Structure 1
Amino acid sequence: MASIKKYSTAAGDRYRVRYRKPDGTQTDRRGFATKKAAEVWAADNTVSLNAGTWVDPRHGKTTVGELGEEWLARRSRLKRSARQRLVTTWEVRVKPRWEHTPIADIRPTQVQAWLDGLTIVPKRDDAEPRALGATGVIYAHQVLNGILADAVRDRMLTANPCSGMTLPRKGQKRKVYLTHETLHRFVDEVAAGSVDAQARSVLVLTLGYTGLRWGEATGLRVRGVNALRRRLVIRDNAVEVNGEIEVGTTKGHRERTVPVPEFLMARIVEQCEGKGPDDLVWAHPGGGYLPLPPYTRGWWQQAVKRAEIPRITPHDLRHTAASLAVSAGANVKALQKMLGHVSAAMTLDVYADLFDDDLDDVSRRLDEAVGRMWANGGV
């Protein structure tokens, strides 16, 4: 049972509630201006103690900074690229605003105002700050929300002030679908140059016809090339993180087998000639993994300009591969396996526009069914 006692201060009489914590030790809450206020608080506190939802008020003084580093440490099992994204968001977005703030002092309205006001600091002194993109805002919320969610689970907070935030929606990036003709024109421009450019051209063809991610293609080793069955066995993903190549599992954490057209397999086999099973099919001229080409300059974008095609990235060629596969008759399940999506539903979410012809086929088949019924004397 809680006890309420009056005590005197320079500002007048105040009331103190003394009670036992779940571990049996006694503590108190001071500073109530009236006995009624003390009684109301004591009643609420007793309910939470009995319900097992009690939170020690002292935990509320813990700052976000104290919890943030521990939260990041618990994400050590993430892929390095995924963890680095969280670390950067913590250092650049979350820590500067919330590091010294006690978790009990954070209000939902403050969090919403912070998310709404996130900006990108310009590198030039004469440039105006601009709003942070939807993805950046979502990552910022993810980090702060994760830290405070763990505090709730550890009974340091009664509720997460990050819950129920209004977040921006990610804009749907326009997909570029190259035709066979435009893809080969681009490949011809990539091939214009040194012997190394010839190898790059085969890499670009592989991206455009198999839908491999850049890191999956550049992480492919000779042992993963099955020329007889015209298949590529994808096991690794070589991702660039802070200027270094980090090799891990594929994005879906699963090995998959990808079909290759015969004309392309012949060119891939040429890239494997003279190499051992553990050698990379496409390697940097100086050795090691081939880095992702710069988005705004370099051999990739030069070839894009010469080929006079829409500006694309290596990842955009996954869209081309999907489009060409569907036009060749691939169904959703086959496309899912080829691209390494976790489910056919995800494939449909991304490429629903490629299956519009299926809707036309449905209406045509319904017309044919009704026509047959009428022809057979049906109603």
Structure 2
Amino acid sequence: MSETVDVTRREADAILAQRRTEHAADRPMPSVGAVWRSLVWPMLERRAADGEISRGTLEHYAAAWDRQVGPRWGDVPVASVRRADVQEWYDGMTRSQAAMARILVRYVFDECELREICDGSVGRYPYRMPSAGDTRDKGIWSLDELGAIWRASEGTYLEPWLIVAAFGGPRVGESMGVRREEVWSWDGGPSPVAVVPIVRQAGRTGDVSERLKTQWSSHAAVVPGPLGERLCGLCAAGGEGWIIPGRTGDAPMNRELLRKRFDSLVARAGVPRHPVRNLRNSWETFTHWTLGVDPEKIERMMGHVGTSVTERHYDRPEAELLAAEVSRAYAEHPYADGWVGAAAAIRPDE
């Protein structure tokens, strides 16, 4: 900054001193986007690297910034953000969108307050969240409908993944992070069981992280009966590699391509369309109500911490206990007997 004055040197010194006094409190005011990029995002990346948050959580934050927060507030100076405008913005969202956006807004203004850039109260104000509720599709498939989806996948390269995701209960990213050589067979009960270690997850772009959603998420997914045998056979025949490989085979398929392939399977099966993540809810429903498995054991097979199951990492003895429980339950309620006929060979997906 400069100012030209036509005065004596002494008068110029006085004017300079006056300008310094007038503007002593002035400082550059960054935009919301600048604070996000320079302060918040690096902090979140460090937390992910230190294991405090998962890579999946980091991806959700990035997606929420790109879709909701950045387009509205990215170019707005942080000191110009008004509570009334933020509330109006939240009012136009679903409840889940607003809840995620609120987390990011608070991160930005917490950093602003910590570094004395501006007052951070606009980020933590008790805003009213939308009351319409979560509009996500919560529909599930029945066992017969899951069977139809499996038959549509039979013989394709999607089949091993579909069996794990639909009949083993992991999250979508967890099911994509399975390697074929890790699947093993347990035959110590009345029904054969395929045991699938869930020890990593694949991200939206196919990147793989050894960190799951929580520190307790490592667990065993178990698939009983003919589908379990089918899964073990397909994994053995396929050799080492990802259960749902990407185009080059050195990483899992990316999430968007998997969604498109799965939607094609659903259409081919002639059953209602729901998001691929709803396979997990469908599995929990039939495992509880059809197989009659104890809810505490279901929680552990979903990677949750139950009320008395305290193991926090995948281990083979616990996997065998879960396999024994599911083997017994399936023998009493053999829902897939007769589903698997002559084993189809893996064929390219049409």
Tell me the TM-score normalized by structure 1: 0.60
| CA pair 59-84 structure 1, distance change in 2 beyond 3 A | farther
Equivalent residue number for residue 332 of structure 1: 295
* Aligned mates of 1:62, 1:293 — CA distance in 2: 35
Structure 1 runs of 4+ with >6 Å offset:
28-31
Offset from partner CA, 1:235-256 (integer Å, 9 cap, x none): 1111223xx5344422224321
Q: How does 1:239-258 map to 2 (within 5 A)?
A: 239-241=203-205, 244-253=206-215, 254-258=217-221
Structure 1 contact 62–102 (Cα < 8 Å) conserved: yes
- Give, in angstroms, the shift of residue 139 of structure 1: 3.0
Equivalent residue number for residue 69 of structure 2: 94
Counterpart selection for 2:144 from 181, 187, 190: 181
Q: With CA pairs under 8 Å and 6+ residues apart, which has the higher RCO, 1 or 2?
A: 2
Are 2:193 and 1:218 aligned?
no
- Give, in angstroms, the shift of residue 147 of structure 1: 0.8
* Aligned mates of 1:150, 1:115 — CA distance in 2: 21
Structure 1 contact 240–246 (Cα < 8 Å) conserved: no
- Give, in angstroms, the shift of residue 76 of structure 1: 0.8
Q: How does 1:149-160 map to 2 (within 5 A)?
A: 149-160=110-121
* Aligned mates of 2:57, 2:42 — CA distance in 1: 13
Structure 1 contact 112–166 (Cα < 8 Å) conserved: yes
Structure 1 contact 219–236 (Cα < 8 Å) conserved: yes
Counterpart selection for 2:45 from 76, 83, 91: 76
- Secondary structure of the structure 1 residue equivalent to 2:121: coil
Are 2:101 and 1:137 aligned?
no
One-letter code of the match for 2:231?
A: I
* Aligned mates of 2:169, 2:235 — CA distance in 1: 20
- Secondary structure of the structure 2 residue equivalent to 1:260: strand
| CA pair 82-57 structure 1, distance change in 2 beyond 3 A | farther
- Give, in angstroms, the shift of residue 318 of structure 1: 0.8
User: Structure 1 stretches of 5 or more lacking a match?
Assistant: 1-27, 32-55, 117-130, 345-379
Structure 1 contact 80–246 (Cα < 8 Å) conserved: no
Tell me the TM-score normalized by structure 2: 0.64
* Aligned mates of 2:242, 2:153 — CA distance in 1: 20
Equivalent residue number for residue 8 of structure 2: none
Counterpart selection for 1:110 from 64, 76, 85: 85
- Give, in angstroms, the shift of residue 325 of structure 1: 0.8
| CA pair 60-213 structure 1, distance change in 2 beyond 3 A | same
- Secondary structure of the structure 1 residue equivalent to 2:277: helix
Report the structure, 1 or 2, having the larger strand content: 1
Equivalent residue number for residue 198 of structure 2: 234
Compare CA radii of gyration and give the structure with the larger one: 1
- Give, in angstroms, the shift of residue 321 of structure 1: 0.7
- Give, in angstroms, the shift of residue 326 of structure 1: 0.4
- Secondary structure of the structure 1 residue equivalent to 2:272: coil
* Aligned mates of 1:227, 1:60 — CA distance in 2: 64
> How high is the sequence identity, in percent, across the aligned residues?
18
User: Structure 2 stretches of 5 or more lacking a match?
Assistant: 1-19, 49-53, 188-192, 308-350
Equivalent residue number for residue 24 of structure 1: none
CA RMSD of aligned residues (A): 3.4
The aligned length equals: 270
- Give, in angstroms, the shift of residue 58 of structure 1: 5.3
